[in-house]
Amino acid sequence: MNGISFNREQGQLGRKAAGEDHVSLLSFYNMELAASNPSLDCTSLPQAITQGLSTTDSMFYYHVAEFFRTAPGARLITAVYQNPSTDYSEIKAKVIESAGVVKQVGIWNGSQAVSYAKIEALNAICEELAALNMPVFSIESPMVDEEDYATLLDLSTVDCPFVSVVIAQDNAGFGVNSTENVQTGIIGAALGALARSQVHTSIAWVERQNMVTDFIKNPVTNQFHPSRELDNLGFLGGTNYSEFTPAQIDALDAKGYIFLRKHVSLAGSYFNHSRTATSVTSDYAFIENTRTMNKVQRAVYAQLLPKLSAPAYIDRNTGFLQADSVAGLEAIAEQGLAQMERDGELSGYAVQIDPEQSILSTSKLQTKVRAVPVGVLREYEVSLGFTLKINQ
């Protein structure tokens, strides 16, 4: 039918997201990319193209585009490696190279199957970065073939709270069609979901994290893909969500894998949960727990660093720190935490310094920081029934 249609494009003004919690690193392994493929540092898809992002590198292009579809204005740094990692030391080097501004890392590792050794190696690198006061959280998209799902490893049996594994895919989407790869995954979109959310919020928050938005335009043909990206639920390897029974879906969920699901009477696709590769009883069983504590560490570090090697005055009668020195240091350490509470990222906090410490003997000040996290309503249990009277 005759008419005039319009498509409002996003990201042309180059507006940047506020703060730094959105700064993300997207890493690719075993990719057949041109040797000249650039390392991007950008805040929009047009800027990435200006920096050398090419449509001919379809996998790379797709995930960069998906990151900015889900997190407009966020900052994305990229790295491409031709061979699979042995210990993820290159991730550590890239975060250090960024001066520690990277807050989360997304990894496409579509030639290597899920293994405890790889997850533990990635978690170890994140622990090393945390020890350097550059804590990051990591999500990985591994290789999973159709026949692997019945025997996938149980991620709740390892202790890797800095790592999550994402196995979702749109088997009828632009990504799989353009890359012709059944291991395409959604690492770009998943990383974008982290980048656009505050540290205390779950990526499974239905009200905020619908992963289906616009139709995707093929940059080569200039034609829109017939369905919205991530609207057709599937898994790495080419299996469709509908091919699994509810019991099989529940089993994948219980093992700690992250994928997309639908909700009755609500359009869109949503994450099943935000589990990390650790026990469900852990304080860091969910991404938002680890990301919140990462930010707590950065906040306290930023406040205490200027006081490193500062003079510490001693009560001449006790030999311990003067009371006003203790109170002053506690107040300084609390400043970043107070801002997190004002931003809704903490329910509360406390900084405690035992005044009876022999600073003259050790030159070390033991400080205890406690943060009260924000809860997440992961389940509702509703009791339904008739009654003769309301007030009884």
Ramachandran sector of residue 3 (left: φ over 0; alpha: ψ -120 to 50; beta: rest): left
How high is the pLDDT of residue 215? Answer: 86
How high is the pLDDT of residue 392? Answer: 62
Secondary structure element (H or E) that encloses residue 76, with its range: strand 76-81
Distance between CA atoms of 48 and 43, rounded to whole angstroms? 8
Distance between CA atoms of 260 and 258, rounded to whole angstroms? 7
| Contact between residue 271 and residue 189 where contact means Cβ atoms under 8 Å apart | no
pLDDT tens profile 377-392: 999 999 999 999 887 6
Distance between CA atoms of 8 and 137, rounded to whole angstroms? 33
Ramachandran sector of residue 60 (left: φ over 0; alpha: ψ -120 to 50; beta: rest): alpha
Distance between CA atoms of 150 and 194, rounded to whole angstroms? 28
pTM: 0.93
How high is the pLDDT of residue 26? Answer: 97
Structure tokens at 271: 């994450």
**Which CA distances in Å does 384 have to 157, 192, 285, 381?**
37, 38, 31, 10
Distance between CA atoms of 253 and 379, rounded to whole angstroms? 14
Distance between CA atoms of 108 and 57, rounded to whole angstroms? 14
| Contact between residue 138 and residue 119 where contact means Cβ atoms under 8 Å apart | no
**Which 3 state secondary structure label does DSSP give 311?**
coil
Closest by CA to 70, choosing from 218, 229, 233, 179, is: 229
- State residue 86 phi and psi, 5-degree precision: -100, -35
| Contact between residue 76 and residue 43 where contact means Cβ atoms under 8 Å apart | yes
| Contacts for 373 with CB less than 8 Å, ≥ 6 apart | 200, 288, 289, 292, 346, 347
How high is the pLDDT of residue 11? Answer: 54
| 328, amino acid identity | G
Q: What is the pLDDT along the chain (392 residues), one digit of tens a residue?
A: 555 644 555 555 656 676 889 999 999 987 666 555 668 999 999 999 999 999 988 999 999 999 999 999 999 999 998 888 889 999 999 999 999 999 999 999 999 999 999 999 999 999 999 999 999 999 999 999 999 999 999 999 999 999 999 999 999 999 999 999 999 999 999 999 999 999 999 999 999 999 998 888 888 888 889 899 999 999 999 999 999 999 999 999 999 999 999 999 999 999 999 999 999 999 999 999 999 999 999 999 999 999 999 999 999 999 999 999 999 999 999 999 999 999 999 999 999 999 999 899 999 999 999 999 999 999 999 999 999 988 76
Q: What is the DSSP string of 77-124?
A: EEEEESS--SS-HHHHHHHHHTTT---EEEEEEEEEE--HHHHHHHHH
**Which CA distances in Å does 337 have to 201, 224, 281, 302, 373?**
17, 46, 25, 11, 11
pLDDT tens profile 118-159: 999 999 999 999 999 999 999 999 999 999 999 999 999 999
Closest by CA to 275, choosing from 126, 164, 121, 118, is: 164
Report the interhelical angle of 89-97 vs 116-131 (nearest 10°).
30
- Report the 10 Å Cβ neighbour count for 224: 14
How high is the pLDDT of residue 109? Answer: 93
| Contact between residue 118 and residue 112 where contact means Cβ atoms under 8 Å apart | yes
**Which CA distances in Å does 152 have to 116, 165, 279, 324?**
11, 12, 16, 56
How high is the pLDDT of residue 221? Answer: 86
How high is the pLDDT of residue 13? Answer: 61
How high is the pLDDT of residue 6? Answer: 47
How high is the pLDDT of residue 86? Answer: 87
